[in-house]
């Protein structure tokens, strides 16, 4: 079962459904459902994603987030035109614009995001703007404890926002009523954290207005009447501002909100002393073993600690719609607020000192307590110590209580997990995790009850009722995942395993249970009844991965017998359809199959995503949206899912995109851009499985490689680039060898098809894809004419305590760290490479100095290279000026070193073979791997490689 989906059930029982047709929507928020937004999701703003996705995650975004002159190029594919107008002596010092055909797509106005009311009778259209200007990113920010804070607004920095809200009535026939626009807030207001009340009668949201006066820029909480569209400030006092560093506000009931506010008596921020009190010191005289990855933006000294406290400290306030205000508890650094389903209690988390200079705030000491909704402290659940020593091995966790949540099927029952291995995944113990449950106010002397014991790592629970809940566990090293069926209210009913499978095996994924909304606004597994049938059925919603691509489905599943009936499936020929949410659960009582209503999406290669309501028993479909094509100039682009094999027989796949109107028999081969992202697997079979669908609408983000379809390029999107380590073998020990083999197979396929000119194939990637790009140019120069590497890490010795999916340290796998690093092969990189990096990169492992040092190493060996550092940008790029300049740089590079390339690929191939005969790096890696594993070179030549394309992982764990 999909890990991301099932992990949400333990925390997202109060989510809000938000859908968007935009290609810029971050996929990580699929877990948001219809209702309240869980605390940890309310705190984050939208992040722009730069990669293409084959998943349906792009339809859901967090509800709370969200004309220039020509530069001299004429937009022609001809390199002679582009190069002739290029001023080679004036390539520095100012931002540039890409050709009009690219610029027009990026500047197109974004479509609105959607949010359904809890009762499913209304839809919000949340209006958005295009790319922000660079001046917004240039605002001062504090980098504290792993966070970036806008002190002027007292929020996380660089939050996106909505510019307006429109409300439409949704009628039973699928038609939308006339728009009611929310009115009453000031012009230029920026809206965030939009949240429905449980009865659907009110909206709460924050407003900020940029102004020179710092107090005017802080966020205020507003409410709006859904029927009239009239909005007003929630607080009568103009001096109460929202503190949105962590959580922000939550509906306690239909007339009351709990709000995180800036303490009224806070004063001015602490001033940094001109002279420090003493040196910065850290000590390990107790010889503790503490291994941490390369976290960024950490606290550095006592002044930073004081500054973090200043911005993060919150005063909790209960406020009613009538203006009544009551403070709750003392000021503290509160991180999450979660009301119980019966609205009697609030689960409140906070962090406190002692802080750390080596880990971010998520590992600071954490206190969790239960309060009543009228502000009375009930009890403390835990006070966890500072967690600097969590092992770097995957599946390692913090000691003590974790994943503390309310049961979504009970009024006020808590549940949580506790590790039995000290949090260390390398410790062998059974059970490994125990799940406990307890009432918010237990009877005196009554301790927690054991709900279930697990031998793998706990991964969440989907609740239904006392007779049914699904418990998930998994183990990364073996990719094993299991789903248990338990009866929470019947101790005499033994738990049983429902599914036991490999998380890599997408073909066997049975799907995830669809959830229904309860009267308290939580979400539980939807039980379905059939007429004259006493069976217990649930709905399993799956991606339906097949060798021909994803064919999403909806199964009626008998939880007792395991039998299933497919009641809905996506069109296989032209369209790609998915189930989004259950729409027939507004009332209490049984849900019958013949009364089922499901919200679905539908799209094709050429048609933008639209939303429909499917009704049973006749499966009538009502379309409820009619979004225009976001880039009509590419409406007739060609898209094909292609499959091919590596030389060792491992099945690979990619999506081939061709420009509108292109005919290979008439137009001949094109320049081609290969864009990918490596992934690790434990199984060759799973590595070869097809992911994604050929019928998905091609979404083009602001830095998408598909923009170059408008410039006449063929695009090979997401060619699978798997790195396999079967059994006890670690995948990265043969990283370069497998990487090159995958690239060879992909290049041979597009050349064989006649769509790509063999001497005009460029390679590129973002983050780990940039790492891939540099390695391929160093170790497979015969395949590519040039490369584009954005925000990468090139020297793995600078991330000595693990990176990406590698959890061995530099000292445990020295040769792997060295041989994987393209920095160590800078003397062998002979093809032109464009390096781009954000100056304020906040991603773990991809510090900006990675590109600085790699560029200097390349320059020191005379390589043809260029480094572009983007001021104020982090791991993903946000400002219009930055994005347009990156597109200009990329287009210039491709025109000059790909389109204009006249080198004979056969010469590159001969040089490559000569290098191999002298002991080229990828053959040296084979020898190292063989000697380390006790085999021969021939043995390792036939170990496969594969890749599962990652879904929009712009923000990777590196």
Q: Is 217 a catalytic residue?
A: no
Which of the residues 841, 891, 908, 958 is marked catalytic?
Answer: 841
Q: Supply 371's token pair.
A: 């309060």
Query: In angstroms, rounded to a whole number, what is the distance separating the alpha carbons of residues 791 and 811?
Result: 26
Radius of gyration of the chain (CA): 28
Q: Supply 351's token pair.
A: 């962090």
Query: In angstroms, rounded to a whole number, what is the distance separating the alpha carbons of residues 841 and 143?
Result: 12
Burial of residue 276, with CB atoms counted within 10 A of its CB: 0-12 exposed, 13-18 middle, 19 or more buried: exposed
Q: How many CB atoms lie within 10 A of CB 122?
A: 20
CB 716 within 8 A of CB 675: yes
Which of the residues 9, 452, 875, 885 is marked catalytic?
Answer: 875
CB 327 within 8 A of CB 316: yes
Q: Is 304 a catalytic residue?
A: no
Q: Where are the alpha helices (DSSP H) in 734-848?
A: 735-752, 768-779, 814-820
Query: In angstroms, rounded to a whole number, what is the distance separating the alpha carbons of residues 311 and 145?
Result: 12
Ramachandran region of residue 886, left (φ > 0), alpha (ψ -120 to 50) or beta?
alpha
Burial of residue 646, with CB atoms counted within 10 A of its CB: 0-12 exposed, 13-18 middle, 19 or more buried: buried
- Helix, strand, coil percentages (3-state) for the chain, rounded to 5, are 20, 30, 50
CB 868 within 8 A of CB 883: no
Query: Taking Cα atoms as reference points, which of 612, 512, 499, 602 lies closest to residue 554?
Result: 512
> Please, which residues bridge with residue 125 across strands?
114, 166
Query: In angstroms, rounded to a whole number, what is the distance separating the alpha carbons of residues 791 and 874?
Result: 9
Query: Taking Cα atoms as reference points, which of 598, 599, 619, 620 lies closest to residue 611?
Result: 599
Burial of residue 547, with CB atoms counted within 10 A of its CB: 0-12 exposed, 13-18 middle, 19 or more buried: exposed
CB 247 within 8 A of CB 258: no
Phi, psi of 501 (to 5 degrees): -155, 175
Q: How far apart are the first and last CA of the chain?
A: 25
Cα–Cα distances in angstroms (integers) from residue 697 to residues 82, 552, 866, 908, in the given order: 31, 15, 34, 37
Cα–Cα distances in angstroms (integers) from residue 352 to residues 296, 306, 312, 367, 540, in the given order: 20, 12, 11, 8, 42
Q: How many CB atoms lie within 10 A of CB 353?
A: 12
**Beta-carbon-side half-sphere exposure of residue 723 (alpha carbons within 13 Å):** 22
Q: Is 841 a catalytic residue?
A: yes
Query: In angstroms, rounded to a whole number, what is the distance separating the alpha carbons of residues 499 and 559?
Result: 11
CB 142 within 8 A of CB 94: no
DSSP assignment letter at 607? S
Which of the residues 45, 767, 851, 882 is marked catalytic?
Answer: 767
Say whether the peptide bond before residue 220 is cis (omega within 30 degrees of 0): no
Query: In angstroms, rounded to a whole number, what is the distance separating the alpha carbons of residues 11 and 17?
Result: 14
Cα–Cα distances in angstroms (integers) from residue 22 to residues 37, 110, 559, 605, 877, in the given order: 21, 6, 37, 15, 17
Phi, psi of 341 (to 5 degrees): -55, -35
Q: Write out the DSSP string of 446-488.
A: --PEEEEEESSEEEEEEEEETTEEEEEEEETTTTEEEEEEE-T
- Which helix (H) or strand (E) covers residue 717, if one does? strand 714-717
SS3 state at 327:
strand
Which residue is it, tokens 């210039």? 892
Q: Which residue numbers are catalytic?
A: 767, 841, 875
């Amino acid at each position: 079962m999909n890990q991301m989906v099932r992990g949400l059930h333990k925390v997202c029982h109060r989510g809000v459904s938000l859908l968007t047709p935009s290609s810029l929507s971050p996929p990580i928020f699929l877990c948001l459902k219809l209702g309240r937004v869980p605390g940890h999701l309310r705190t984050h703003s939208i992040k722009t994603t730069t990669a293409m996705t084959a998943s349906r995650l792009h339809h859901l975004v967090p509800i709370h987030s969200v004309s220039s002159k020509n530069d001299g190029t004429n937009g022609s594919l001809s390199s002679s035109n582009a190069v002739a107008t290029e001023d080679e002596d004036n390539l520095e010092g100012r931002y540039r614009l890409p050709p009009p055909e690219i610029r027009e797509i990026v500047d197109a106005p974004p479509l609105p995001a959607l949010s359904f009311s809890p009762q499913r009778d209304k839809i919000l259209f949340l209006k958005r703007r295009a790319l922000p200007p660079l001046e917004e990113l240039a605002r001062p920010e504090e980098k504290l404890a792993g966070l970036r804070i806008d002190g002027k607004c007292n929020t996380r920095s660089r939050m996106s926002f909505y510019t307006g809200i429109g409300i439409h009535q949704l009628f039973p026939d699928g038609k939308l009523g006339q728009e009611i626009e929310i009115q009453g807030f000031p012009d230029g207001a920026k809206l965030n954290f939009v949240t429905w009340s449980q009865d659907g009668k009110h909206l709460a949201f924050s407003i900020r207005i940029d102004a020179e006066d710092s107090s005017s820029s802080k966020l205020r909480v507003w409410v709006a009447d859904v029927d009239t569209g009239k909005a007003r400030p929630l607080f009568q006092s103009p001096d109460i501002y929202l503190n949105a560093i962590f959580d922000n506000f939550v509906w306690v009931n239909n007339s009351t909100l709990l709000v995180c506010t800036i303490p009224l008596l806070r004063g001015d921020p602490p001033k940094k002393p001109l002279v420090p009190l003493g040196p910065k010191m850290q000590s390990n005289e107790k010889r503790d073993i503490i291994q941490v990855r390369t976290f960024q933006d950490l606290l550095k000294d006592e002044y930073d600690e004081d500054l973090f406290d200043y911005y993060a400290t919150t005063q909790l306030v209960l406020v009613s719609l009538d203006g009544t205000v009551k403070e709750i508890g003392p000021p503290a650094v509160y991180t999450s607020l979660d009301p119980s389903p019966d609205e009697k209690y609030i689960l409140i988390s906070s962090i406190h000192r002692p802080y750390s200079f080596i880990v971010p705030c998520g590992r600071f000491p954490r206190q969790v307590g239960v309060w009543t909704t009228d502000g009375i402290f009930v009890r403390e659940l835990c006070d966890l110590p500072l967690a600097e020593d969590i092992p770097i091995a995957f599946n390692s966790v913090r000691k003590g209580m974790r994943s503390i949540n309310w049961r979504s099927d009970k009024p006020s029952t808590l549940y949580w997990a506790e590790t039995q291995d000290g949090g260390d995944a390398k410790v062998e113990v059974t059970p490994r995790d125990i799940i406990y449950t307890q009432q918010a106010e237990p009877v005196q002397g009554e301790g927690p009850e054991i709900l279930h014991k697990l031998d793998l790592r706990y991964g969440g629970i989907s609740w239904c009722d006392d007779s049914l809940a699904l418990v998930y566990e998994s183990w990364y090293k073996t990719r094993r995942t299991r789903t248990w069926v338990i009866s929470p209210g019947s101790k005499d009913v033994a738990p049983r395993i429902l599914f036991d499978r490999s998380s890599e095996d997408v073909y066997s994924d049975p799907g995830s249970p669809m959830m229904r909304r309860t009267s308290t606004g939580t979400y539980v597994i939807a039980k379905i009844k059939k007429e004259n049938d006493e069976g217990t059925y649930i709905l399993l919603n799956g991606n339906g991965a097949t060798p021909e691509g994803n064919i999403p489905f909806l199964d009626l599943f008998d939880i007792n017998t395991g039998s299933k009936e497919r009641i809905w499936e996506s069109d296989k020929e032209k369209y790609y359809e998915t189930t989004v949410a259950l729409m027939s659960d507004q009332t209490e009582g049984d849900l019958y199959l013949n009364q089922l209503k499901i919200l679905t999406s539908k799209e094709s290669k050429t048609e933008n995503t639209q939303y429909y309501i499917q009704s049973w028993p006749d499966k009538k479909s009502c379309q409820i949206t009619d979004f225009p094509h976001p880039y009509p100039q590419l409406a007739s682009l060609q898209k094909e899912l292609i499959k091919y094999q590596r030389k060792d027989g491992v099945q690979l796949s990619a999506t081939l995109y061709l420009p509108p109107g292109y005919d290979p028999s008439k137009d001949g081969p094109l320049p081609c851009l290969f864009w990918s992202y490596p992934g690790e697997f434990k199984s060759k079979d799973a590595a070869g499985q097809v992911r994604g669908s050929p019928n998905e609408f091609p979404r083009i983000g602001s830095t998408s490689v598909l923009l170059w379809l408008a410039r006449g390029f063929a695009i090979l999107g997401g060619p699978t680039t798997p790195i396999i380590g079967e059994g006890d073998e670690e995948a990265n020990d043969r990283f370069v060898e497998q990487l090159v083999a995958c690239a060879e197979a992909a290049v041979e396929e597009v050349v064989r098809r006649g769509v790509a000119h063999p001497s005009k194939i460029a390679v590129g990637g973002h983050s780990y894809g940039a790492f891939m790009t540099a390695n391929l140019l160093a170790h497979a120069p015969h395949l590519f004419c040039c490369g584009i590497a954005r925000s990468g890490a090139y020297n793995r010795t600078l991330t000595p305590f693990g990176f990406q999916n590698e959890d061995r340290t530099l000292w445990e796998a020295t040769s792997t760290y060295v041989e994987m690093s393209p920095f160590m092969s800078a003397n062998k990189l002979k093809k032109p490479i464009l390096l781009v990096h954000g100056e304020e990169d906040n991603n773990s492992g991809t510090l900006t100095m990675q590109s600085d040092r790699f560029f200097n190493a390349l320059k020191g060996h005379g390589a043809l290279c260029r480094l572009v550092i983007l001021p104020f940008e982090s791991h993903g790029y946000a400002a219009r000026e930055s994005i347009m300049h990156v597109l200009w740089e990329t287009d210039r590079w491709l025109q000059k070193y790909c389109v204009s390339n006249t080198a004979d690929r056969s010469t590159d191939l001969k040089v490559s073979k000569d290098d191999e005969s002298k002991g080229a790096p990828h053959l040296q890696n084979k020898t190292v791997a063989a000697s380390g594993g006790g085999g021969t070179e021939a043995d390792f030549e036939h170990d496969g490689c594969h890749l599962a394309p990652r879904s929009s992982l712009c923000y990777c764990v590196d």
